[in-house]
């Protein structure tokens, strides 16, 4: 657990009810629940980048949205800078929203096509009534400079369709940092950008991190997480199954799922064709979560006990802060 706690999440639970429809309600069928997030705990400190990785349906996006209270949890606790925000009403949340921002995946959709770059970056300032016109103009220029869109004047009057994908994403980031937040949630920030452009945006996030921002990055790309994150948390079916320093998780994985996942990530070097541990089938949906360890039906090394025991995250592996939820680890 990180010590300069900016964001701390404890036993977070987010469930969705599956709509039953008229027939289901009349026939009194049992309400099915999608247990999207089923007990997740982690923390993000200042100047730290935590990558939340996993395949689709693991609950990583739901977690990110809940942390910002864009969704409401069913149980658990979210603390932001020491303050419990789990059940704060919207009015109390509003001032806090300046300090936590989100960046979305799609650079083409995350900017209003009818607003200029200047208007987009200025909007947060207007919403929070920050400063005079001149002060706002300064802050906008400053934000654009920080995202390396220089000289800012060249970009102020442009519309999104005049910019490339990478530039649009930078504008989105500028709009997120203009209020000077402490925490940034980045949901797949580069997955829709060309490869040659991704590194630039990720380095930008890295430099923001160095300036003191805490970043929670959602990604399905383990290679990106390996290169850019301080810590990695691997999610499966609503739970974190392994968590620790990025290098440790990638080089010394403790959980069978992590090991399998790492083994199938294609490598750049054609000579490095690692022995892939391809799991069969796909993850079950979050309505029917297996008993015991939720990974056991697909686990290559599962034993009888795995059907009964639902393991908790425990210290495994050599590195400090490296934990895994597996009774066979270590």
269 binds another protein (CB under 8 A): yes
Residue 272's Cβ-count burial label (10 Å; 0-12, 13-18, 19+) is: exposed
Distances (CA, A) of 4 to 52, 81, 222, 229, 294: 19, 9, 25, 17, 32
Closest contact distance (angstroms) between CB of 235 and another protein is 12
Phi and psi, residue 244, nearest 5°? 170, -175
Per the DSSP assignment, residues forming a β-bridge with 100 are: 183
254 binds another protein (CB under 8 A): no
Site for another protein in 94-153 (CB under 8 A): 94, 97-98, 101-102, 104-106, 108-115, 120, 123-124, 127-128, 148-151
Taking the C-alpha atoms of residue 128 and residue 94, their distance in angstroms, rounded to an integer, is 9
Q: Which C-beta is closer to another protein: that of 30 or that of 113?
A: 113
Which of 200, 304, 17 is closest to 296 using CA atoms?
Answer: 304
Q: Which C-beta is closer to another protein: that of 5 or that of 200?
A: 200
Taking the C-alpha atoms of residue 49 and residue 43, their distance in angstroms, rounded to an integer, is 10
Question: Are 50 and 231 in contact, with CB atoms under 8 Å apart?
Answer: yes
Q: Which C-beta is closer to another protein: that of 43 or that of 167?
A: 167
Closest contact distance (angstroms) between CB of 14 and another protein is 17
The secondary structure of 191-207, three-state, reads CCCCHHHHHHHHHHHHH
Closest contact distance (angstroms) between CB of 82 and another protein is 21
Taking the C-alpha atoms of residue 199 and residue 207, their distance in angstroms, rounded to an integer, is 12
Closest contact distance (angstroms) between CB of 3 and another protein is 25
Site for another protein in 147-206 (CB under 8 A): 148-151, 154-155, 158-159, 161-167, 170, 172, 175, 194-203, 206
Site for another protein in 212-241 (CB under 8 A): 220-224, 226-228
Which of 82, 93, 97 is closest to 43 using CA atoms?
Answer: 82
Closest contact distance (angstroms) between CB of 304 and another protein is 25
Which tokens sit at 305? 């006990």
Q: Which of 271, 275, 288, 304 binds another protein (CB under 8 A)?
A: 271
31 binds another protein (CB under 8 A): no
279 binds another protein (CB under 8 A): yes
Q: Which C-beta is closer to another protein: that of 41 or that of 59?
A: 59
Q: Which C-beta is closer to another protein: that of 2 or that of 219?
A: 219
Phi and psi, residue 191, nearest 5°? -65, -20
258 binds another protein (CB under 8 A): no
Count, residues near another protein per rule CB under 8 A: 82
Closest contact distance (angstroms) between CB of 328 and another protein is 20
């Amino acid at each position: 657990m990180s010590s300069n706690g900016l964001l701390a999440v404890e036993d977070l639970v987010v469930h969705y009810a599956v709509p039953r429809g008229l027939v289901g309600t009349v026939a009194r069928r049992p309400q099915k629940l999608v247990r999207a997030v089923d007990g997740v705990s982690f923390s993000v400190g200042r100047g730290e980048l935590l990558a939340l990785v996993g395949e689709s349906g693991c609950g990583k996006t739901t977690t990110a949205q809940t942390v910002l209270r864009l969704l409401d949890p069913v149980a658990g606790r979210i603390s932001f800078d020491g303050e419990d925000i789990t059940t704060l009403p919207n009015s109390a949340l509003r001032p806090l929203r300046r300090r936590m921002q989100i960046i979305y995946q799609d650079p083409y959709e995350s900017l209003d096509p009818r607003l200029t770059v200047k208007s987009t970056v200025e909007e947060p300032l207007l919403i929070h009534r920050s400063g005079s016109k001149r002060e706002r103009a300064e802050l906008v220029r400053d934000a654009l400079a920080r995202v390396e869109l220089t000289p800012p004047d060249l970009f102020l009057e442009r519309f999104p369709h005049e910019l490339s994908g990478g530039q649009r994403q930078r504008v989105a980031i500028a709009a997120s940092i203009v209020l000077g937040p402490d925490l940034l949630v980045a949901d797949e920030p580069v997955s829709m950008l060309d490869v040659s452009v991704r590194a630039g945006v990720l380095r930008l996030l890295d430099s923001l991190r160095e300036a003191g921002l805490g970043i929670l990055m959602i990604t399905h790309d383990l290679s990106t997480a390996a290169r850019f994150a301080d810590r990695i948390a691997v999610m499966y079916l609503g739970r974190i199954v392994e968590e620790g320093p990025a290098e440790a998780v990638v080089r010394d994985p403790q959980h069978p799922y992590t090991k399998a996942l790492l083994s199938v990530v294609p490598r750049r070097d054609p000579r490095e064709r690692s022995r892939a541990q391809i799991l069969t089938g796909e993850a079950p949906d979050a309505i029917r979560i297996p008993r015991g360890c939720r990974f056991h039906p697909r686990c290559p090394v599962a034993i009888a006990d795995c059907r009964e025991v639902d393991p908790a995250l425990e210290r495994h592996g050599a590195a400090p802060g490296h934990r895994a939820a597996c009774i066979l680890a270590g």
